[in-house]
Structures are given as C-alpha cells and as structure tokens.
Amino acid sequence: MSPLHLCLALSAALFCTGLVAVLIRGNAILVLLGVELMLNAANLNFLAFWRFGPGGGEAGLVFVLFSIAVAAAEAAVGMALVIAVHRHLRSIRIADANRLKG
Amino acid sequence: MTTLLAVLALICLAPAVAAVLVRNLIHSALLFVLAWLGLAAFYLALGAEFVAFAQALVYVGGVSMVALFAVLLTRPGRTDLLPPPSAARAVGGLAAASLVASMLASSLFWSRLPSMEPTAPIPLRRLGELLAGPYLVAVLLVGLILTVALIGGLLLAAPRRPAEGGDA
Amino acid sequence: MLHASHLWLIPALPLLAAAVGAAAPRTARRLPVALALGAIIGSFLLSLAALAGALAAPAAKLTANFTWFWAGSTAVRLGWLLDPLGALMSVLVCGVSVLVFIFSTAYLRDDPRLGRFFTCLSLFVAAMLGLLVANSLLLLLVCWELVGLASYLLIGFWFERPAAAAAAKKAFITTRLGDLGFLLGLLWLFHATGSSLFYDGGAGVLEGGALERLAATTLPGGWTAATGIGLLLFAGAVGKSGQFPLHVWLPDAMEGPTPVSALIHAATMVAAGVFLVARVFPLMAADQGLGGVPVHALTAVAVIGSVTALLGALLAVAQTDIKRVLAYSTVSQLGYMMLAVGVGAWEAAVFHLITHACFKALLFLGSGSVIHAAHHEQDARRLGGLATRMRFTYVTFLLGTGALIGLPLVFSGFWSKEAVLHAAELWPVSHLPFLAGLAGVVLTAFYMTRLVSETFLGRARGDGAAHAHESPRAMTLPLAVLAVASVAAGWIGTPAWPWLQSQLTGAPVAAHGLAEGLGLMILSTVLVGAGIAAGGWMYARSPRADDRAPDPLARRFPGVFAALAARLWIDEFYAATVGRLLRGAAALAAWLERWVWGGLVSLTGRVAETTGEVNRAIDEDGLNTGFDRASDGLRDAAQRYSRAQTGEVQGYLRAVVVGLAVLALLLVWGGVR
C-alpha cells in the first residue's frame, strides 16, 4: 500500500462517514457538520494527488485553500439558516421541516 | 512515511466516526474538532504547511465555533435522540457502505497508479506569489463570497424586532 | 291635343283615386266616391283630348316608348300608343264609366261598403284604360290581369253570399284558362321577335318586318308562327269576352251589383277581348291561308264567334232572371263582334262594340232601376205592370231594346249589325257565319220582346213590382244619356258615310251606296219583324197571369225549352270533367304535399334530430366521459406520485445516494477496469 493509496482510503472513509452523518442523523447541525466532513475528504483527495500524483504544479494546493474558505462560508450560512428555522419551528430536527411536501 | 500516515489517519478517522454516532451534540462538535486537528496534522505530514494551518484556523477556530454557537442558541432539548432505525435508514446505510466499498476497491485494488516520487513541497513565498499573481481573481472572488456569507448569515440569524413587523 | 307621352295620365288618375281609396278607412264614404268621380271625369276630358290628337292623324301610330328593364342583353320595353282605336275606346270607357258611377251613388246608397265599391271601380277603370293605351303586349297583359282582378273583387262584392263568392271564383278561374293561352302567345311572340311593342318605328311586332318573319316561320304541321301566336292570343280573348267554350262565367257574374254588370260585363271589360283581336289584327291576318288546309287564326275566330252568337241567343230565350237574359244577350253580341273580326272586318266589330256598349249599358242600368225599385226582385216572372209605374225607365228600356234588336234606320244597333252582316256576307270562305248571324237576329228580337213583355207589361205579379215607383234622378239621368247615345252613335258608321271605319283604318273606306246594302237591310228588317211578331204573339198578347204559370214556349216545345233553360248542361259537363280533373289533381297535390314533400321535410327534421342526438351522445358519453376518466386517472396518478414528495430532505438525499451508489457499482464492478 503506497501513501497515495492510504490517503485515498482515508478520504473514502471520511467521505462515507460524512455521508452517513447526513443521511442518518436527524439533527440539522450534525447534517451540516457531516457536509463539512465530506468537503474535508475532498480536500484530502486533492492534496493526496498533489503530493503523490504525476506532474508538478500547485493547482491542487491552491484549490484546497479556496475550498476551505468556501466551505467555511457555507458552514456559516448554513448555521445561520438553522438558527432562523429554529426560531420558527422551535426545533432543529430535520424531520420537522417538512412543509414542502406533496 | 506510510506508517506515519497510517497512524495519523486513524487519529482522524476515529473521532470522526465517533462524532457521527455520539448522541450529545456538544460532544459531537468537540469530537469533530479533534478530527479536524488530526486532519491538519495529516496535511502537515503531506508537506502542505500553509493548508494545514489554514485548516486548523478555519475549521477548528471558525466552523466549530459557529457550530457550537448554533447548538447553544437552539437548544431546548439537551439530547438529540438518534431516530429509530427503520428500513429507510438501513437502505441509506447500505448505499453509503456500498459506495465506500466501491471507492476503496477502485482506488486500492484496481487503480493503476504508478508509484511515484512525491512532489516537493512548495515554499510559502512561492504560494504567496501564486495567490497574488495568477490566482488573484479567485482570491478576490472568494473574498466576495465570504463577505456575502457574512452579511447573509447576519441577516438570517438576526432576531426579529417586533417594531419592524412584516419586514422579511 | 294630348301627346303620346302623356297618355299614361289617363289611367293614372283613376289609379291614384283607387290607391287613396284603398288607404282610407273602411267606412269612409264620401272620400272614395268623390275621388272616383273626379278621377273619371278628369280621365274623360283627357281622353277627349287624346281623341282629338288621334283624329288629327288617323293613319299615324303615335308612340312613346321607354325601356322598363334589361334582362341580360335584351331590353324589355313598354310604351303608350295614341291611335284612333285606343282613343275612341278610351272615350267610350270613360263616358260609360261616368254614367255608371253616377248611377251607383244612388243604387248602392244604403250599402255600408260604398267606399270600397268605388275604390274597386276606380281600380277597374284604371286598368281598363291602361289596357287601351298600351303599346306593348306585355303592358296590355298586366292591365288585362288587373282588370280580371277588379272583376273578381266586384263580382264578389257581396261576399257574404256564397253564390257571389262562387261566381267570382268561377269568373276568375275561367278567364285564367284563357289567359294561359295569352301568356304563351306573348312569350312565343317575344321569343320570335325580341320585342313586345306593337309599333316601334318599324321594329314593332305589328309592323312589316316582324310580320313577314312570323308569316314565314313554319311549324311542323304546316301552320305558321303568326297563326300559332294569333290563336294563342285569341284564347285569351275567348276567356275574357265570354266566347264558347269559356262563356260559362258571364251569366254567373250577374251575382255582382247591377252597375258592375253594366260597366264591366256588358260595355267594357268583355269588350277587351274584342279590342285585343282588333289590336293585333295585323298579326292574325299575317298569313293568308297556307298550302293544303286553309285554316288560320281568323277562321278560328270566325267559327267561334258564330257559334257563340247563336248559342248565346238560344240560351237567352229560356232564362227567367232579367240579368241572365241580358248576360246571354251580351255573350251573343260578343259573338257577333268576334265574327266580324274573323271575316276580316275589324272596324265593323269595333263599331258594333261601341254601339253595344251604349245600349247594353242602358239595358243593364234600366234593369238595375227595375230591380232597385222592386226591392231586389230579379225574377221576371214576379214582375210586370211596371210600364205604368216606371214610365221613364220603361221608355229608355224600350229604346235600348230597339237598338239591340236592330230596328231599322233610327237605332245605332241597326247600322252596326248591318256592317257586321255585310262583312260576313262577303266572306269568301263560307256562308255559315252569315247564316248564324241572321238566325241570331231573329232570336234576339224574340227574346228581347219576351223580356220586355214579362218585365213591364201585364199586371204586377209580385209584391216588389206592386210597390215599385220611378227611380231617383241619379239613376234616370244616366239612362237618358245612354238612350240618346244608343240612337246617335249609329250615325258615325253608316254605309253612306263610313266615318268611323275610315278613322280606324286610317284609310278612307269607300262608301258603298245604298243600293248595295239595301237587300241586306231589308232582309234584316224582315227578320227583326218576324222575331218581334213571334215574341209579341206569345208573350205580349196575353201576359202571364202569375209567376207560377208555365212559359208559353215551354208549353209548345217542352223538350227544347227544358234543354235551353238548363243551358244545354254545359256547366254540368264542365263540373263533371274539368271539375273532377281539378279535384283529382288537387287531391294528388295534397297527398304529395302531405306525404312526399312533408315526409321529406319531416325526414330532414328527423335526420337533423338524430344527428343532434348522436352528437350529444358522442359529446357527453364519449368525449366528456373519456376526458373525465382521463382526468381522474391523471389526478390519481399525480396524487400517487406526489406522495414521493415527503418534504424530508434526508429522504431525498437518500435517493440521490442510492442512485450514486448504483452508478458507482455499475462503473466499478460493471466494466470499466
């Protein structure tokens, strides 16, 4: 197992953990954190291929920087949304925000 | 190298899994912090120092704080019960499992990635030149995004003032 | 002097009076009467002016033609004709009409519908005058039909009486049969010549070019177009002038008021037929015989005229109603006129027409005076003794009788009948018309003597006659005027001075001296005397005692008298044949109407209904239900599908991940290595 493989395996594991969190947990905040985890996994993927992949370049590195920034922004907005929804529904359970149904 | 990475990987993964499964929200948030720190260390091991520090600053210093604030601002209930397992969740879990299995399999067993020499880490100076040079527009855009997110977040989360009435 | 283009004024005045009278309220009396009298007097004066203009140039045919309308490339033209024939007839019609109008004001004084009577009379006079001054056969036909309409209205004036209504219908329908021939002749003429004008500066149908063409056109059978058209036009005259076999309506027309009988059915309307054949005489005389059979139009006219003359006189012998006797007498005299035209002397026919108008109107008005005085008693058997009670009427009636019989030298009838018989004597084809005419002379004298004896002589046999007294001035004055005319009118056409004939033909007619016609005059005088003697011996010598006593003639010749009294069963024959045929045709038409056409219409209605039903069924049960069911199905499906929208985000995500997993599995484990 090369280091690349290890990184990729870790990335896959983290991604699926995040996915599980999104799918299974009924708490909005945890869902958002799961999304962050998935993004982290993607960043790791980028870095892995930057470090151990073919060819030089810095694109991966720079991209990860930007990814981190955007993910942070997204987390902030998401949390603000959760707070706003909580104000109306008095709950942060995702299952309670089901008004858009047919 | 690989051994180091393996250990660091474990340090990342374990808190992450735990965070997903723990019931207490605060415990969950703190475990996430651990996981991110572990990830920062991992980045260091990979030779991306700036990214590692950025990861630590932003995620541990920013996102986790935001999450904690959100938790604290929205709690009547202390615990969040795990929803009772049902067929749907089983399906979801199975899907996720098969996904990770596929990714692992494809990456570990069937990939034809040649073993290569690792890339040399980029010095900080060089990174700065890049950011101010070819990637300047992206930086500015990201700055814009952050500003918008900031304002939006403020607007969304700000409490309603009764005198305003109807102003959305 | 009236110009030809102003001739239309003559019929226009009475027409205007009729129009205003028709628009007036039904109970109006003074207005229609005043308008009618004023109009007729105006027309009389205008006719005199026209006559002056016509006599100034007798040979010229002064016309004023105009185009009525265009039918494709053919122009239909009408016009007015100013010539002695038309002008003389106009003066005659207007003059007699004035007298009859004045008579009517007294005769119908108690009738509630007096205004309507005068309106119809005005209409009649307008149509008659239009007929006389027309230069176009088409215009003549229009006025001809209008005259028939007015006659129908006036015969059936007392329409509450079923007999009057039936008589009006009979008159109209019988003349209609003749008019059919008239119309066919007109159409044929128009088709052959392209014009219906009589005189049109050389292009008219009675002028050289057209006549030659018509005489030259031969039809299968050997006849010429001129003969065919002439016979068809004569058919119209047969109907209108009551010739055999269409004479049956005239006696029944006596159901109308007596002034109507005097004006229309003695003097004017029935003369229209004679006027027509006189007008188109050039056409009828156009071909002078042909190859094998010398039958052409004028011969037919002569034959029918002779038969009518004899038949009318025979039937008049056995009638008991005053007006019926006079009616059959009119039929007989009209036969004389047609006879004259047939033998080629149309001027003699017109002469006799003029004198006949005067004395027949006199006789009818006289009988009207009698009827009015005897409280509407018309049966001569119940009259009598009026010679002393109604002196004036008696004297004028005698004068009229003398004119009709043809008492020599003094009376107009003598001269005009002499002209007719003279022409018949000279006819090269046959002497039968002449003999028929002579027989008619005897019979005429006989039946008129009979009539006078029964009506005036003896003692009063009925209540009406017993209480009769002389009629008012309004009635006796016209009688006087007509009596004078009956005497004086003859002197315009005597053989010594044939003024009338020359004016009519436009060429001076040689006056044949007294020696030539003396034999005939003596013969006719003898015949007249014989007739008067026979009648006087049978009737005047011992007038009948009461109304139920049998007729002396019936005692001697019962079979013949019965046959004549039954009018030779001609009416019954018609009823059995033509009447049956018509009834059968009507029944067939009714059956067709009800079952075939009505059935078709009903069928169409049913088809439409059924189509509507089918439509409705398709619409409601097919389309609507189909659509409803489809919509329901759509809604159910949509409801079912909308259940997928649970509103749970995690559910959606789950679905996404499942899909992603499937894709990944396919990619990784499927084939891409």
| Span C143-158, pLDDT tens digits | 999 999 999 999 999 9
- Which pLDDT score, from 0 to 100, does residue C503 have? 73
The residue-averaged pLDDT of A68-95 equals 88
- Which pLDDT score, from 0 to 100, does residue C656 have? 87
The answer, for C640 touching chain A at a CB cutoff of 8 Å, is no
The rounded distance, in Å, linking the Cα atoms of A94 and A75 is 16
The rounded distance, in Å, linking the Cα atoms of C99 and C267 is 12
The rounded distance, in Å, linking the Cα atoms of C544 and C549 is 7
> Cβ contact (<8 Å) for B91 and C658?
yes
Kindly give, in sequence order, each residue whose CB lies less than 8 Å from that of residue C225, ignoring residues fewer than 6 positions away. C188, C192, C213, C214, C215, C217, C218, C219
Supply φ then ψ for residue C71, to 5 degrees: -110, 90
One DSSP character per residue, chain A reads --HHHHHHHHHHHHHHHHHHHHHH--BHHHHHHHHHHHHHHHHHHHHHHHHHSSS--SHHHHHHHHHHHHHHHHHHHHHHHHHHHHHHHS--BGGG---S--
Q: If you measure CA to CA, which chain C residue comes closest to B98?
A: C661
Question: Which residue in the block uniquely carries the two structure tokens 């016209």?
Answer: C478
Contacts of B103 in chain C (CB under 8 A): 664
Classify C435 as helix, strand or coil: helix
If you average pLDDT over every residue of chain C, what do you get?
84
The answer, for B10 touching chain A at a CB cutoff of 8 Å, is no
Token pair of C645 as six digits? 């929208």
- Low-confidence spans in chain B with pLDDT less than 50: 165-166, 168
Tell me the one-letter amino acid at C33: V
pTM of the predicted protein model = 0.65
- Which pLDDT score, from 0 to 100, does residue C497 have? 67
The rounded distance, in Å, linking the Cα atoms of C437 and C527 is 11
The answer, for C666 touching chain B at a CB cutoff of 8 Å, is no
Asked if pLDDT for residue C220 goes beyond 90, the answer is no
Asked if pLDDT for residue C204 goes beyond 60, the answer is yes
Contacts of C643 in chain A (CB under 8 A): 102
pLDDT band of residue C570 (cuts 50, 70, 90) is: confident
The residue-averaged pLDDT of C608-625 equals 88
For the ranges A94-98, C162-166, C635-639, the lowest mean pLDDT is seen at A94-98
Over the range C109-126, which residues count as b (16 or more CB within 10 Å of their CB) and which as e? eeeebbbbbbbbbbbbbb
β-bridge partners, C494 = C497
Residue C643 DSSP class: T
The answer, for B109 touching chain C at a CB cutoff of 8 Å, is no
For the ranges A76-85, C492-501, C657-666, the lowest mean pLDDT is seen at C492-501
Structural contact between residues C45 and C14, judged by C-beta atoms closer than 8 angstroms: no
Asked if pLDDT for residue C651 goes beyond 90, the answer is no
Q: Which of B51, B76, B154 sits opposite A65 (nearest CB)?
A: B51
The rounded distance, in Å, linking the Cα atoms of A30 and A36 is 10
Q: Which of A23, A100, A102 sits opposite C650 (nearest CB)?
A: A23
Asked if pLDDT for residue C291 goes beyond 60, the answer is no
In terms of pLDDT, which residue wins out, A50 or C291? A50
For the ranges A29-43, C330-344, C645-659, the lowest mean pLDDT is seen at C645-659
The rounded distance, in Å, linking the Cα atoms of C338 and C350 is 10
Classify C271 as helix, strand or coil: helix
Q: How far is C662 from chain B (nearest CA, A)?
A: 8
Kindly give, in sequence order, each residue whose CB lies less than 8 Å from that of residue C485, ignoring residues fewer than 6 positions away. C95, C358, C362, C412
Chain C contact probe: residue of A16, A35, A82, A100 with most C CBs at under 10 A: A100
- The kind and range of the H/E element at C504 are helix C499-505
Contacts of C650 in chain A (CB under 8 A): 22-24, 26, 31, 94-95
- Which pLDDT score, from 0 to 100, does residue B168 have? 47
**Topology (CATH) of B1-76:** Four Helix Bundle (Hemerythrin (Met), subunit A) (1.20.120)
Contacts of B98 in chain C (CB under 8 A): 661, 664-665
Asked if pLDDT for residue C501 goes beyond 50, the answer is yes
CATH class of A3-89: mainly alpha
Instruction: Give the burial class of C174: count Cβ atoms within 10 A of its Cβ; 0-12 exposed, 13-18 middle, 19 or more buried.
Output: buried
One DSSP character per residue, C549-560 reads SPPHHHHH-HHH
Contacts of C661 in chain B (CB under 8 A): 95-96, 98-99, 102
> Cβ contact (<8 Å) for C647 and A99?
yes
The answer, for C661 touching chain B at a CB cutoff of 8 Å, is yes
> Cβ contact (<8 Å) for C646 and A26?
no
Q: How far is B122 from chain C (nearest CA, A)?
A: 34
The answer, for C52 touching chain A at a CB cutoff of 8 Å, is no
Token pair of C649 as six digits? 């985000």
The residue-averaged pLDDT of C321-333 equals 91
Contacts of B114 in chain A (CB under 8 A): 54
Chain A stretch 59-88, residues whose beta carbon is closer than 8 A to a beta carbon of chain B: 61-62, 64-66, 68-77, 79-84, 86-87
Helix ranges (H only) for C343-431 are 346-373, 386-389, 391-405, 412-425
The answer, for C649 touching chain B at a CB cutoff of 8 Å, is no
Asked if pLDDT for residue C293 goes beyond 50, the answer is no
- Which pLDDT score, from 0 to 100, does residue C333 have? 93
Residue B24 DSSP class: B
Over the range A52-78, which residues count as b (16 or more CB within 10 Å of their CB) and which as e? bbeeeebebbbbbbbbbbbbbbbbbbb
The answer, for B168 touching chain A at a CB cutoff of 8 Å, is no
Task: To the nearest 10°, report the CA torsion of B94, B95, B97, B98.
Answer: 110
Chain A contact probe: residue of B60, B65, B66 with most A CBs at under 10 A: B66
The rounded distance, in Å, linking the Cα atoms of B8 and B112 is 25
- Which pLDDT score, from 0 to 100, does residue C131 have? 92
Classify C672 as helix, strand or coil: coil
The rounded distance, in Å, linking the Cα atoms of C36 and C20 is 10
- Which pLDDT score, from 0 to 100, does residue A40 have? 95
Domain extents in chain A: 3-89
Q: How far is B145 from chain A (nearest CA, A)?
A: 7
pLDDT band of residue C507 (cuts 50, 70, 90) is: low
In terms of pLDDT, which residue wins out, C2 or C387? C387
The residue-averaged pLDDT of A36-57 equals 86
Total beta-carbon pairs less than 8 A apart between chain B and chain C: 34
Would residue C577 be called left, alpha or beta, if left means φ above 0 and alpha means ψ between -120 and 50 degrees? alpha
Q: Which of A25, A56, A92 sits opposite B74 (nearest CB)?
A: A92
- Which pLDDT score, from 0 to 100, does residue C244 have? 85
The answer, for B41 touching chain A at a CB cutoff of 8 Å, is no
Q: Which of A16, A26, A86 sits opposite B100 (nearest CB)?
A: A16
The answer, for C644 touching chain A at a CB cutoff of 8 Å, is yes
Structural contact between residues A13 and B35, judged by C-beta atoms closer than 8 angstroms: no
- Which pLDDT score, from 0 to 100, does residue B158 have? 82
Structural contact between residues C229 and C221, judged by C-beta atoms closer than 8 angstroms: no
- Which pLDDT score, from 0 to 100, does residue B55 have? 94
The answer, for B99 touching chain C at a CB cutoff of 8 Å, is yes
Total beta-carbon pairs less than 8 A apart between chain A and chain B: 228
Give the number of C-alpha atoms closer than 13 A to the C-alpha of residue B160, restricted to the C-beta side. Answer: 13
Q: Please tell me the total number of residues recorded for chain A in this structure.
A: 102
The residue-averaged pLDDT of C355-382 equals 87
Contacts of B71 in chain A (CB under 8 A): 29
The residue-averaged pLDDT of C615-622 equals 86
Q: If you measure CA to CA, which chain A residue comes closest to B3?
A: A3
The share of chain C scoring above pLDDT 90, in percent, equals 26
The rounded distance, in Å, linking the Cα atoms of B128 and C247 is 140
The rounded distance, in Å, linking the Cα atoms of C523 and C521 is 5
The residue-averaged pLDDT of C461-482 equals 80
Q: If you measure CA to CA, which chain C residue comes closest to A22?
A: C650
Chain A stretch 31-60, residues whose beta carbon is closer than 8 A to a beta carbon of chain B: 32-34, 36-37, 40, 43-44, 47-48, 50-54, 56, 58
Asked if pLDDT for residue C292 goes beyond 50, the answer is no
Contacts of B38 in chain A (CB under 8 A): none
Chain C contact probe: residue of A16, A22, A29, A85 with most C CBs at under 10 A: A22
Chains that touch C (3 or more CB pairs under 8 A): A, B
The answer, for C650 touching chain A at a CB cutoff of 8 Å, is yes
- Which pLDDT score, from 0 to 100, does residue C168 have? 92
The residue-averaged pLDDT of C299-303 equals 88
Interface of A with C (CB under 8 A): 19, 22-24, 26, 31, 94-95, 97-102
Highest mean pLDDT among A2-11, B116-125, B132-141, C277-286: B132-141
Tens of pLDDT, residue by residue over C74-110, are: 778 888 888 888 888 999 999 999 999 999 998 888 8
Contacts of C658 in chain B (CB under 8 A): 91-92, 95
pLDDT band of residue C276 (cuts 50, 70, 90) is: very high
Contacts of A24 in chain C (CB under 8 A): 650
The share of chain A scoring above pLDDT 90, in percent, equals 39
